[in-house]
């Protein structure tokens, strides 16, 4: 494999998760009679720039299309996160009705709707037709395409340069990293800013967040590795904020090379933290496999013990990360009866690989499970708040990452 940041050959395996179907390739009932395509899910680390990455087993166009089922607005917490960002960045950059905001992977308008409400001109770029149509229905101008340098040139020619470029949880999904980042440099005004949010790789290592690895996530960034990629493509990071969202993310503020923006102390502070954690040493990256295997064995053994006792077990949240966990652990419907979700596009479908059925949230009250396994652990509090009603029959919550934990509905930790 060739590193998509520095172009060198990669020989170090970071994590081998076997083979699985694409994490968001949900199945209809008729699909259960057909063979599924499995791809190797193996992450590598570059020993030069330390970017962790997976090969492009499936083309991005085959993932982000009119059948894409992830709608950002289904998470109330994430919509609030977006609204808070807009409220903070607008005065910081002095955005107004004469500005232009462009967001890549704008999804269903979960973020740009807040700029639109302030009267700030905005443009979404979203390759998934399913989510783009929802954004358009909200009155948000949206280009149905991938963000590339060529598209950036077209936007500049037709609409002018942007004051702000937003990329939330998108840079990890980009197979051609250089083209994407150079497109940001092309699009921005000389004094413009780009903000990118992505899960901080440091937390993946510390908290065994291996389930965030799946085929549509091509890269996994530390501040060091994203900074190196930007330097090679005409950008630099002038500020970095640590965010609690998605299990611990970074929001980096970037400017074009040559900009007069001063580099904030936050950048050096986080880089120093990464060095202390060993992210500048290859042995740090190659030591995770055993920890992941032990975690998964513990989870499977727990499910088997409870099922032997006659327990009813449901999952909550038909998330991509959950599909990585379930498929790597080899979990089938005889261990988890079903998964509940609030996304209409997922209801009535089956999880890829493990073929566990997906129902609406109301199935929890009907089935009255003894255990509810929270698969998108990054929204644990939000989910527990929604499902407080399981206390009525003594239901318990289970989370797997960073360790197997069982709690009652009031949050008291129980024995596993």
Is 44 inside a domain boundary?
Answer: no
Q: Average the pLDDT over 113-125 and give the result.
A: 97
CA separation for the pair 52, 74 (Å, rounded): 29
Is 14 inside a domain boundary?
Answer: no
pLDDT digit string, tens, across residues 211-239: 999 998 999 999 999 999 999 999 999 99
Is it the case that residue 383 has pLDDT exceeding 70?
Answer: yes
Is it the case that residue 100 has pLDDT exceeding 90?
Answer: yes
Is 130 inside a domain boundary?
Answer: yes
Instruction: Say whether both 162 and 311 belong to one domain.
Output: no
Instruction: Say whether both 147 and 255 belong to one domain.
Output: yes
Is it the case that residue 63 has pLDDT exceeding 70?
Answer: no
Q: What share of the chain is helix, strand, coil (3-state, %, to 5)?
A: 40, 25, 40
Is it the case that residue 19 has pLDDT exceeding 90?
Answer: yes
Share of the chain above pLDDT 70, in %: 96
Instruction: Say whether both 124 and 260 belong to one domain.
Output: yes
Instruction: Say whether both 316 and 256 belong to one domain.
Output: no
Is 34 inside a domain boundary?
Answer: no
Give the pLDDT score at 129.
86
Length of the chain: 416
Give the pLDDT score at 347.
95
Is 243 inside a domain boundary?
Answer: yes
Q: Which domain holds residue 242?
A: 52-285
Is 351 inside a domain boundary?
Answer: yes
Instruction: Say whether both 269 and 382 belong to one domain.
Output: no
Backbone region of residue 107 per phi and psi (left: phi > 0; alpha: psi in -120 to 50; beta: other values): left
Is 15 inside a domain boundary?
Answer: no
Share of the chain above pLDDT 90, in %: 89
Instruction: Say whether both 273 and 311 belong to one domain.
Output: no
Q: Average the pLDDT over 72-84 and give the result.
A: 82
Place of tokens 């999804």: 107
Rounded (10°) CA dihedral 291, 229, 241, 112:
-110
Instruction: Say whether both 319 and 356 belong to one domain.
Output: yes
End position of a domain, from candidates 231, 256, 285: 285
CB burial of residue 379 (10 Å; 0-12, 13-18, 19+): buried
Q: Is the peptide bond before 103 cis (omega within 30 degrees of 0)?
A: no
Q: Answer positive or negative: Cα dihedral of 353, 245, 170, 111.
A: positive
Give the pLDDT score at 286.
86
Instruction: Say whether both 189 and 241 belong to one domain.
Output: yes
Backbone region of residue 292 per phi and psi (left: phi > 0; alpha: psi in -120 to 50; beta: other values): alpha
End position of a domain, from candidates 285, 317, 334: 285
Report the CATH number at residue 384.
Answer: 3.40.50.720
Average pLDDT in the chain: 94
pLDDT digit string, tens, across residues 308-358: 999 999 999 999 999 999 999 999 999 999 999 998 889 999 999 999 999
Give the pLDDT score at 293.
97
Which one, of 355, 84, 74, 299, lies nearest residue 195 by Cα?
84
Q: Show the tokens assigned to 299.
A: 């989870």
pLDDT-derived band at 245 (thresholds 50, 70, 90) equals confident
Instruction: Say whether both 265 and 371 belong to one domain.
Output: no
Instruction: Say whether both 112 and 237 belong to one domain.
Output: yes
Give the pLDDT score at 59.
59
Give the pLDDT score at 69.
56
Helix (H, G, I), strand (E, B) or coil at 364: helix
Report the CATH number at residue 229.
Answer: 3.40.50.150
Number of domains in the chain: 2
End position of a domain, from candidates 260, 285, 310: 285
Instruction: Say whether both 223 and 247 belong to one domain.
Output: yes
pLDDT-derived band at 70 (thresholds 50, 70, 90) equals low
Is it the case that residue 66 has pLDDT exceeding 60?
Answer: no
Is 184 inside a domain boundary?
Answer: yes
List Cα–Cα distances, 87 to 92, 99, 144, 251, 253, in angstroms: 9, 15, 26, 15, 16
Is it the case that residue 65 has pLDDT exceeding 90?
Answer: no
| DSSP secondary structure letters along 101-138 | EEEES-TTSTTHHHHHHTT--EEEE---HHHHHHHHHT
Please state the pTM of the whole predicted model.
0.91
**Orientation angle between helical segments 320-329 and 289-308, nearest 10 degrees:** 80
Give the pLDDT score at 246.
84
Instruction: Say whether both 233 and 94 belong to one domain.
Output: yes
Rounded (10°) CA dihedral 292, 293, 299, 303:
150
pLDDT-derived band at 61 (thresholds 50, 70, 90) equals low
Q: Average the pLDDT over 241-270 and give the result.
A: 95
């Amino acid at each position: 494999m060739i590193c998509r940041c520095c172009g060198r050959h990669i020989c170090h395996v970071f994590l081998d998760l076997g083979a699985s179907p694409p994490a968001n390739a949900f199945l209809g009932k008729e699909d259960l009679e057909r063979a599924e395509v499995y791809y190797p899910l193996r992450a590598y680390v570059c020993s030069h720039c330390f970017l962790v990455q997976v090969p492009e087993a499936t083309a991005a166009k085959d993932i982000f299309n009119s059948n894409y089922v992830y709608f950002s607005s289904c998470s109330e917490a994430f919509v609030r996160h977006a609204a808070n960002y807009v409220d903070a960045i607008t005065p910081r950059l002095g955005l107004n009705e004469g500005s232009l905001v462009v967001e890549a992977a704008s999804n269903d308008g979960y973020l740009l709707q807040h700029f639109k409400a302030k009267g700030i001109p905005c443009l979404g770029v979203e390759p998934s037709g399913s989510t783009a149509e929802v954004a358009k229905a909200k009155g948000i101008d949206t280009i149905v395409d991938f963000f590339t340098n060529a598209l950036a040139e077209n936007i500049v020619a037709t609409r002018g340069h942007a004051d702000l470029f937003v990329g939330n949880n998108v840079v990890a999904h980009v197979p051609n990293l250089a083209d994407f980042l150079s497109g940001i440099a092309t699009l921005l005004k000389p004094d413009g800013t780009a903000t990118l949010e992505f899960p901080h790789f440091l937390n993946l290592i510390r908290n065994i967040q291996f389930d965030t690895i799946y085929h549509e996530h091509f890269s996994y960034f530390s501040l060091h590795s994203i900074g190196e990629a930007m330097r090679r493509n005409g950008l630099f990071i002038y500020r970095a904020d640590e965010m609690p969202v998605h299990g611990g993310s970074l929001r980096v503020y970037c400017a074009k090379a040559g900009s007069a923006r001063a580099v904030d102390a936050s950048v050096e502070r986080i880089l120093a933290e990464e060095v202390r954690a060993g992210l500048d040493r290859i042995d740090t990256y190659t030591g995770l496999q055993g920890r992941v295997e032990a975690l998964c064995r513990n989870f499977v053994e727990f499910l088997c013990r409870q099922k032997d006792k006659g327990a009813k077990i449901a999952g909550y949240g038909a998330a991509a990360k959950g599909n990585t966990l379930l498929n790597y652990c080899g979990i089938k419907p005889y261990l988890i009866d079903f998964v509940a979700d609030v996304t209409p596009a997922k209801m009535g479908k089956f999880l890829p690989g493990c073929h566990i059925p997906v129902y609406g949230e109301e199935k929890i009250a009907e089935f009255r499970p003894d255990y509810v396994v929270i698969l998108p652990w990054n929204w644990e509090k939000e989910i527990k708040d929604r499902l407080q009603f399981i206390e009525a029959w003594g239901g318990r919550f289970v989370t797997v990452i960073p360790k197997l934990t069982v709690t009652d509905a009031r949050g008291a930790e129980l024995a596993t």
